[in-house]
Structure 1
Amino acid sequence: EPIHYTYSFNDEEKTVTGLVQEKEDRIFLYEYRGKHIGTEFFISFSTSSVSYKLVKVGD
């Protein structure tokens, strides 16, 4: 089930509907594009990234 999550890149925040997975020191973000397209891979980054940060997961 897709959720809302907020991530930032260079301190500019964006909220997306999709899925979040964390594996070891990586965060994988997926964006929901509608029922006919489904959830597509969006971006991944290290948990220690300086540029990318996962700000909020859920409503």
Structure 2
Amino acid sequence: MGFDDLKGKATDALGEHSDKVEEHSDQGLDKTGEFAEGKGVGGDQVDQGKEFLDGKIGE
């Protein structure tokens, strides 16, 4: 099995479970935001960063 085959299988799996992928990515971004705020990063910066990353990951 080549790389393209593995990539195709991963893409198919993500497509079938896109709602779960979105849920987990949102949870990860929320936890990362909480961590950043705990380290003193401003709330607006955290919100902008989460929005940017969520757009890159996909909604």
Query: Normalised by the size of structure 1, how large is the TM-score?
Result: 0.20
User: Which protein has the bigger helix share?
Assistant: 2
**Structure of greater Rg:** 2
Structure with greater proportional strand content? 1
